[in-house]
Amino acid sequence: MNWLLVGASTIAAEYMIPAMRAQPGGSVAHVVSGTAERAGEFAARHRIPSWGTSLEAALAAPGIDAVYISSTNEKHHPQAMGAIAAGKHVLCEKPLGMSLAEASGMVRAAEARGVVFATNHHLRCAGSHRAIRALVADGRVGKVLSMRVHHAVYLPPHLQGWRLNDPAAGGGVIPDITVHDADTVRFHLGEDPVDVVAQMTQSGLGQGVEDSCMSVWSTPSGVQVFAHDSFTHRHAGCGLEIHGAEGSIFGRGIMTQKPVGEVELVTAEGRERVSYPAYDLYTQGIADFEAAVAGKGRPAADGADGVKSLTIALAVREAARSGARQRIDYGGF
Ligand code: NDP
């Protein structure tokens, strides 16, 4: 598959370009950036044969099979709508947009145009998370009672820009990290949270946006979910726990971009280390996307998954802002 990159971004450089090139016949044809200087420099550094500042011109060029959007968050919607209108399959970064209306509009437009539209929620591609999901689905912990997600990390210095100081670009820990928790919780529990209470704060890095948030969600079956998200915790570690009536699952160090961490199942029979395949998460995500384009299966996270994760994240922020419990309305999704 021949890819067009929209956004000369860190995530494209560090993970997505290698993941695209790792596929059989995979190549990156062109990068679009906001400035010619940055586009040219990014293209040279990553051996991309063509670059420019016009998305329209790039979409009109022959030979592009799919578009990957990893610009700052406020640009996802207009860029995705342009790519969809041009008949391209689209893999878009999370959060899909700045509002439920934007995100749902992207998904509806892709449906109408008959193209694959997916959200880059990488965690559900991980061997660790897929192993945990299988344990839950197989009833190994019995009825699930609660889930704890601890995703309080330290934002690396090279990413300490718009995420910390630019609300108009979609900054803040909630659209950045809580949105991933939302997708991960849905992935493991197989149900959509219905309401949320939350508090958020600025704890050292955020300037005008929250850099830390704690929230509690409930699901239709009565599972209580606690999510702790931050950009300011250097040594907290990350992970998730799922506690059921018959057992508990501990996923340590697994809320990451790398295929690392431990999974342990604890039941009346004792403690069991759960093994899982340690492949690259993003390479798997691109493989799933390409299979969906070929008509074989669905993307790891489709457009509706992206709408729902954004809806939950927006409800968390509104709960924290207002101090009031929020019902989560998925707008028909
Ligand atoms: P970056 O800050 O690296 O890039 C975002 C945009 O900022 C780029 O498109 C670029 O604009 C501009 N930019 C980047 N570096 C510079 C620079 N040195 N000087 C000036 N401008 C610069 O963001 P990320 O890669 O961290 O995130 C991009 C998107 O990907 C976000 O939506 C984020 O939420 C998502 N993301 C998803 C992850 C996942 O695992 N699914 C992980 C990380 C991010 P231009 O293209 O116009 O040049």
Which tens digits make up the pLDDT trace of 4-14?
A: 999 999 999 99
Rounded average pLDDT over 305-318 = 98
Q: Whose CA is nearest to atom 8 of ligand 1?
A: 9
CB of 3 within 8 A of CB of 92? Answer: no
Which of 94, 136, 125, 124 is CA-nearest to residue 241?
136
Ligand 1 center to 259 CA (angstroms): 22
With residue 201 as reference, give the H or E element that holds it. Answer: strand 195-201
Q: How sure is the predictor about 152, in pLDDT bands with cuts at 50, 70 and 90?
A: very high
With residue 173 as reference, give the H or E element that holds it. Answer: helix 173-173
Ligand 1 atom closest to residue 121's alpha carbon, by position in its atom list: 41
Q: How sure is the predictor about 154, in pLDDT bands with cuts at 50, 70 and 90?
A: very high
CB of 70 within 8 A of CB of 7? Answer: yes
CB of 174 within 8 A of CB of 182? Answer: no
Class of residue 269 by CB neighbours under 10 A (exposed 0-12, middle 13-18, buried 19+): exposed
Rounded average pLDDT over 151-164 = 98
Tokens 């999370």 found at:
94
Tokens 């956004």 found at:
7
Beta carbon of 176 within 6 Å of any ligand 1 atom: yes
**Cα(43)–Cα(37) distance, rounded to whole angstroms?**
10
Burial 97-121 (b: 16+ CB within 10 A, else e): bbebebbbbbbbbbeebebbbbbbb
Beta carbon of 161 within 6 Å of any ligand 1 atom: yes
pLDDT at 195: 98
Q: Whose CA is nearest to atom 13 of ligand 1?
A: 9
Q: What is the chain's mean pLDDT, rounded? A: 98
**Cα(306)–Cα(225) distance, rounded to whole angstroms?**
19
Pairing of strands 262-267, 270-274: antiparallel
Tokens 């729902």 found at:
308
Quick check: helix, strand or coil at residue 292?
helix
Beta carbon of 183 within 6 Å of any ligand 1 atom: no
Q: How sure is the predictor about 167, in pLDDT bands with cuts at 50, 70 and 90?
A: very high
pLDDT at 85: 98
Ligand 1 atom closest to residue 42's alpha carbon, by position in its atom list: 48
Rounded average pLDDT over 34-47 = 98
Tokens of 105: 């509009």
pTM confidence score: 0.97
Quick check: helix, strand or coil at residue 89?
strand
CB of 206 within 8 A of CB of 172? Answer: yes
Rounded average pLDDT over 30-38 = 97
Q: How many alpha carbons fall within 13 Å on the CB side of residue 52?
A: 12
